[in-house]
Amino acid sequence: MVSNKKIVFFDLDGTLMSRDKTILESSKQALKALQVKGVYTVICTGRAPLMFKWLLEELSFDSYISMNGQHVVFEGKEIYSNPIKREVLQQLTEVAERNGHGLTYATFESFVTNVAAHPLVIGCTTRLKIPYPPVDSNIFLHSDVNQVQIYSNVEETEEYMDIFKGYSFVRWDESSVDMLPDGASKAVGIQKILDYLNIPIENSYAFGDGLNDMQMIQSVGTGIVMENGIAELKEVADVITASCDDDGILKGLLEIGLLEEKDISPLQKNN
């Protein structure tokens, strides 16, 4: 039976999280109001779960799509995982070591790197406000790795693109690119949840801001892009809301009609 419930997917960096990597009070109230109304709320991010575990607890989330759709959990239950082949990871690690490039490996339970104190890894983790990851360049020998980040510039990444056919490379930072199997995307993770719940596309919504949100925004019934989002994403948006620093989540939910002012007022009185 088709469900008439509604579901909203939220990117993290630059969307649900402001530029200083915090959650606005207005966003917290908006999420709580959605949950009170029975609307499903799902994090949809390129990050590994370990990188946003604190956020799940703070915002009462138990459903998420992580590692650009490579791993999906709904209400605490894993419903999809798509690890990268170990022989590919072995070859990738050898190429990166030869080139002096940093790697980070993302699994369901960990986030590690291939080298200590790599300057580009330091730069990216600092911008994300997370600790430098532990070193374990053999993690793929004992754990499933769903996504890898290669720390190199655009020109240097071309070598990896030539070697690893059948994999896509999505740049999320000037110094780093995600490597994942062709066809993998946040949109794949979204479809897994929609199928699991039997929710029609028209009852799905997503908020995003970056290049790795493109397929997500295009795959849902209503795609909402932050004012601070990239121009290419705004071109395919159904709605453009305020920036992540200017109550964009709350304003967007009010604009598309999932929330009304009366839904927020009781929460404000209780604070």
Active site residues: 11
Find the helix packing angle between 86-99 and 154-163, rounded to 10°: 140
Count how many residues are written for the chain. Answer: 271
Taking the C-alpha atoms of residue 160 and residue 163, their distance in angstroms, rounded to an integer, is 5
Which stretch of DSSP H or E encloses residue 210? none
Residue 116's φ and ψ, nearest 5 degrees, are -80, 140
Q: Pull the structure tokens for residue 20.
A: 């200083």
The residue among 207, 153, 188, 167 whose CA lies nearest residue 34 is 207
Residue 179's φ and ψ, nearest 5 degrees, are -115, 125
Give CA 232 to chain center in angstroms.
18
Taking the C-alpha atoms of residue 239 and residue 252, their distance in angstroms, rounded to an integer, is 8
Residue 169's φ and ψ, nearest 5 degrees, are -130, 115
Q: What is the DSSP letter of 76?
A: T
Which stretch of DSSP H or E encloses residue 25? helix 25-36
* Whether 169 contacts 149, CB under 8 Å: no
* Whether 34 contacts 2, CB under 8 Å: no
